[in-house]
Structure 1
Amino acid sequence: MFECFRDGAGEILKRPEYLADFGRFHESDIPFLAKIERGQTFKEHGSPSWDAFAAGDWAGALRLIEAKRAPLAAYFQDCARRGLSFRRLRIVEFPVTPYLQWEMNSFRLRSELGEEIRVLDAREIADLEQDGPLPEIVALGNSVMYAVIYDEELKGAGARRFLDPEQIATTVAEFESLYRKGEEFSEFFEREIAPLGPPAVR
């Protein structure tokens, strides 16, 4: 699965180019956005909630997530008006990292507002990762897909872009196969995340 992403294939876009390109396709007439996230920790500089989490202010981080409710609600209402579905598959290792605990609380809000999120235990894809972890993939309809690139500090640095319709169709089919295996987000959250105390941030 996801063979087209091996060996560094794709056109490399630096972060500003990637964000601009993503925005252009996102505003076009696409029916869905599909995303696979595999890494267990990242740095989200520029996110007030992540900044609070990284500083050890868990209560503040949660308040700042909730503060995004109105703009996120407007975003998903716009997606619904356009007929655009947003499906995310989150691969999770155990025990969950502090970052993942923070992210799952962010996803809880997004799930409430319309994002279709499922969670898959990393052990379920061990046979697919014998040559390395799955890439972080974003597909925007049948128009474009990206393999997101992170730098040594685990910050977003850009993406590799793919425009070949056959590669995109194959990848979307592979995404759907894994997505169907995932657990509904709300069930996972209530069992694995809700009982946790504030994460220990080093």
Structure 2
Amino acid sequence: MLDGIVDVPGDLLDHGAYHKDFAEHAEDLRGVIWKLERSQTFREPGDTSWEAFRSGDWDRALTLLEADREAVRAEARDNERKGLRVQRVRVVEQPVTPYLQWELNALRMLAEEGFGLRIVKAARCRFLETRGRLPEIVVLGDRVLYEVRYLPDWTPCGARRIDRPDVISAAAAEIAGLYEAGEPLLSFFDREIARLPAPAA
């Protein structure tokens, strides 16, 4: 199902419309938000930590990530109060890209504050990639699925919204299967990432 989502009709949303639509659907949501990340690099202009990483200032990038901890903790508490869980699968190829090394540091903080994050090595998801690499997917409960869209340089530019219940449930089930088979992010990070030298910008 996941690698066939590109062929499922959906509504194109630009960057602003996607975030507005997401907020509206998530406002009173209970249950699970599933997220699948497959690409090994993204661009995140406007994120101060990413900008520091891109400029070659690794120490500042990590300091800026840590500065967001209280906001992350507050979001985790708010989700718990609402009965909402965010469960995220991060596909990893090795050796990790410089971007992924930075992102895994960001995700480590989320995991430490209670977000559900699992690592799946790329070889473990090949059986789902019968037609190409898996897309970047966000599923909000049983309400809506977004195929997140990017420019050729991997700058986010919006999403396609898919409302078909059969597609939403099938995609959520496949992501859940990957999640269950994955390794908790914190153990992967401690073993594979923590001792790496600062990445190249």
- Give TM-score, length-normalised by structure 2: 0.96
How far did residue 126 of structure 1 move?
A: 1.8
Q: Which moved more, 1:122-131 or 1:30-39?
A: 122-131
Q: Secondary structure at the match of 1:106?
A: helix
Is contact 2:2–2:128 with CA below 8 Å preserved after alignment? Answer: no
Is contact 2:98–2:199 with CA below 8 Å preserved after alignment? Answer: yes
Q: Does 1:169 align with 2:177?
A: no
Match of 2:79 in 1: 79
- Aligned partners of 1:101 and 1:21: how far apart in 2? 30
Q: Does 1:43 align with 2:43?
A: yes
Q: Which moved more, 1:6-15 or 1:95-104?
A: 6-15
Match of 2:9 in 1: 9
- Aligned partners of 1:92 and 1:151: how far apart in 2? 21
How far did residue 53 of structure 1 move?
A: 0.3
How far did residue 167 of structure 1 move?
A: 1.5
Match of 1:123 in 2: 123
Q: Which moved more, 1:30-39 or 1:89-98?
A: 30-39
Q: Could you list the per-position Cα deviations for residues 161-185 of structure 1 after superposition, in whole angstroms to 9, with x for gaps in the alignment?
A: 0111221111111111111111111
Q: Could you list the per-position Cα deviations for residues 97-149 of structure 1 after superposition, in whole angstroms to 9, with x for gaps in the alignment?
A: 00000000001110011110000000112232232100100001111110000
How far did residue 62 of structure 1 move?
A: 0.2
Match of 1:152 in 2: 152
Match of 1:139 in 2: 139
Q: Secondary structure at the match of 2:160?
A: strand
Q: Could you list the per-position Cα deviations for residues 14-47 of structure 1 after superposition, in whole angstroms to 9, with x for gaps in the alignment?
A: 1111010001111123311110000000100111
- Aligned partners of 1:152 and 1:167: how far apart in 2? 26
Q: Secondary structure at the match of 1:139?
A: strand
- Aligned partners of 1:154 and 1:87: how far apart in 2? 23
- Give TM-score, length-normalised by structure 1: 0.96
- Aligned partners of 1:163 and 1:73: how far apart in 2? 31
Amino acid at match of 2:144: V
- Aligned partners of 1:196 and 1:42: how far apart in 2? 20
- Aligned partners of 1:112 and 1:66: how far apart in 2? 12
- Aligned partners of 2:23 and 2:29: how far apart in 1? 12
Q: Could you list the per-position Cα deviations for residues 65-107 of structure 1 after superposition, in whole angstroms to 9, with x for gaps in the alignment?
A: 0000111111111000001001000000010000000000001
- Aligned partners of 2:33 and 2:63: how far apart in 1? 27
Q: Does 1:66 align with 2:69?
A: no
Amino acid at match of 1:162: I
- Aligned partners of 2:145 and 2:28: how far apart in 1? 14
Structure 1 vs Structure 2 CA RMSD: 1.2
Match of 2:95 in 1: 95
Q: Percent identity?
A: 44
